[in-house]
Amino acid sequence: MMMRAAVGLWVLSAVICVGRGHHHLGHDDDQAVQDTIVDGSANSVSLVNDANQDFSFRLYGKLAADADSQGKNIFFSPASVSAALAALSVGAQGETHRQLFSGLGFNSSLLTQTDVDQAFQTLLQRANNTSQEDVSEGTAVFVDDEFKPKPEFLQTLKQSYFADGFNVDFTKGTESADTINKYVEEKTNGKIEKLVESLDPNTVMCLISYIYYKGKWATQFDPKLTKQEDFNVDENTKVPAVMMNLDDRFQTYDDHELKTTVLQLPFNSSYSMLLMLPEVMATLENAISPNHVTKWLKAMVGHRRRDVYIPKFSIKTSYNLNDVLTQMGMTDMFGGANLRGISEEQGLAVSDVVHKATLDVDEAGAEAAAATGILIGFSAISDPVPVLKFNRPFMVIITERNTEKILFLGKIINPTI
């Protein structure tokens, strides 16, 4: 009997840790920006969802351009990163808040913080109410025993971001890290084992965002057809990869502008994996945008027979996003931050934003998880059947087809590492 094809995706998005700094903050504007309130929550959800999609590709572009990422696989959950940063913005004010909103792509003349909070509440409810698949998204906040955040900050996190709340003793670094890691491991079904490696004793709060997804392919792969073939990492490098094979009718799109073939592999739900095989990777990743995803999904109306080969693989990625987010304009939160929506204490700043992710693709199904941690402290075709073979670097997106929400995004350069 054939196994159902599956993909395993696990992402530990970002931990945001806040701690106490050793410097005095300069004067920051306490006056909240007067925003125009948008009529109707549906419009706010649409605006936030559009901003999240745009943020996905801007963040991907920064990760792809980073020197440390050259020649490496890229994989992350933009949904988890944006949720963590949006939750942080609840406690930000003045210029720090403006930078977070701008960096996330939220138009402050159209969206208030309340609009954003309510939109994330709706988006998280949608994800967690999906009955066909095993999907869960949420946040958590770990607060030091001696630190007292404002009650309204914690209430908003609980109500809009479905945050679980915990008290820990951050002066016991190993113990508190173990507590956070155990929570994340449980929420991601064991896929993310160590989100936090170590904690600065100045840490007073950690914000965690997680996402977990598990699904089955709508069409079966036959494990008996899986065999080893060469994967062309670049012109001079070949590696032996385990390739799955399926001859069936698929929805595909040839994007002539980007010189890229797009394959859609649907799950037994409203979720799909999009695999993008470009002639030249740089041409695709320098131009790809939410508009391309919309175009591809709309253009894939028919099914054409294809003999498809996809590598079976398991990869893990780990990022510190401090430099990347700084390049995206979110500078003040790391120093000179105005986080007085969290607490009136002076010197609060974000010490680290870390992100971990895992992606597994095999014949059995699909599984994905992500978590984001923000650490806050005192700172510091017809026959013959055309062959579509993913045997060279390709991009991957896990998306919800109705909303086009991007759960996971990445690039596979070498499926064996």
Q: Give the model's pLDDT for residue 270.
A: 84
Q: What is the pTM of this model?
A: 0.89
Q: Give the model's pLDDT for residue 25.
A: 31
Q: What are the 10-residue block averages of pLDDT along the chain, 417 residues in total?
A: 32 66 39 37 91 97 86 93 96 97 96 97 84 77 94 96 95 93 92 87 92 83 94 95 94 96 90 95 95 94 89 88 96 93 92 89 70 77 76 95 91 93
How many whole angstroms separate alpha carbon 105 and alpha carbon 103? 5
Domains located in the chain, CATH noted: 6-412 (3.30.497.10)
Task: Write the Ramachandran bin of 345: left for phi over 0, alpha for psi from -120 to 50, otherwise beta.
Answer: beta
How many whole angstroms separate alpha carbon 185 and alpha carbon 20? 27
Tell me how crowded residue 245 is: count the other CB atoms within 10 A of its CB.
Answer: 17
Q: Give the model's pLDDT for residue 34.
A: 32
How many whole angstroms separate alpha carbon 241 and alpha carbon 390? 11
- Beta strands 387-389 and 304-320 are parallel
| Coil, strand or helix at 200 | coil
Q: Give the model's pLDDT for residue 220.
A: 75
Residue ranges of alpha helices (H) inside 90-172 are 94-104, 113-128, 151-161
Contact 106, 132 (CB under 8 A): no
